[in-house]
Structure 1
């Protein structure tokens, strides 16, 4: 069951929550709506669910327009951030609720509920109440409750936002495996790019009620279409450069050339170059004239990378550099030492955010 929206606009008073948004979610895929607070992602999800009505535009499930249909008539499974479990019902009755509303025979209800509880390995909790469950267990129950009536689509609104980091990481992997088994067309809202990239087949980046970019996680990260996408997806160093003769130069003297792809910026144009921390290298000696002198401010060993903060006083820049543990050990860096930072790559966007 594919989902498509065409030219959706939604206003709340003078605030434009969605501005002429169009999107297609292919059958069986897990699509992440990613963006900062106020970007329009939850409003879009609620319109797809039938919980909000757009001011203009249309929503389709496959070829069937359902823009004005109620949420009850859309056969949608919805999972909320704060579980929304019925506190006065047992786990069994929570999962059975949607089936009983649809007048499913009780024998079939029991078979379906126990099948789903076994799937999430919580069958022993069937007669417990939500207050007796952990946060991760509650969210699993919320998910299978949404799936119990066999919905056409599954919608999740920041489903892991109320959980701690360790449980979130575990549930992300679990959701991906769960989706691979059920293949229900699913859309979930998140502001966590790591979560979106780890779980989703496709990522839709939103900002100010519009879609900035959509594609696979690899496409969006490796080939950001706009400066906003580049800046939003993880840490990035932003260096003010001037463009001369198709080259991005840092500083008034132009002694440091940033190896960047430059698209159509006029002579002597001033613009920002975006460099991810792993696209900078640190050395003890100036390997070339194309490096910045800086002082190490802070070292943070963080698992697979060592995060280094370097102050390049000549340019007034604080740089974030990611080194492999092997490179860090070879350099034997210490706070306060002078080092040389070399840009290996960068991206430069036009001021109107086209590339």
Structure 2
């Protein structure tokens, strides 16, 4: 099942936290466990700690989210999930140092019968019975029918890496590829400094965002979706190409050109990003979600442009952490 974006909570639904992890189906058979990603990738080799725990359950098919909890930051750690894929021979040490959790929210098969046609409330009741006494790393996903409680989760749990809510009909079946679930992301506005643009200065596309750290270095923190045409002219008038002279030569822009693919933080992005460096003097207000990579100091998802903040200096913007 897939969830489509919604602006607000629909009424009469079951509400569950939207975790910042990897969606994963778990196929449990006698002597064999398989973990499969939303894109049908086999994740089994990367999570031996989770597969070991799933062997304690009877045969069936579960749907849930793989997460890694960072006790030092008291939040989920998405980077630790990504490390599993590239750990190689270091995987056992990585799993021991940063164990994964499987947060389960649906039961699709009980080893005998296909349960996908049952209402969600019936599947949930069977799932709750299945996970009685399960180890802490196999977690039953919280859920509520109370919209007020769900909204409180959006506020209170975003610091822990919960991105928002997934809303599901209590009587709904589980339809593979279906899109009857909705997701509402927790989003907040904040300020950042424009350090570069895609496109041209007169017709900027996306904005590359930065913040100064305590040492005075401009740190890259993310990129926006394409700027609405109604704001492009205003930005084009305010942006100035980065040219700074000093004795002995030109002062380089603090970010490499093109921007390395790994900096962009977008899943699936494999190519460096060509952009135009600009003087870091323009402050913009942007809309961001809770998916913030604290280790890299960047937003993982693209920000939404809101407006130019001509009333703010770059030094009024929140400082970036130093790494």
- Taking structure 1 as the reference length, the TM-score comes to 0.25
Rg (Cα) greater in structure: 1
TM-score (norm 2): 0.27
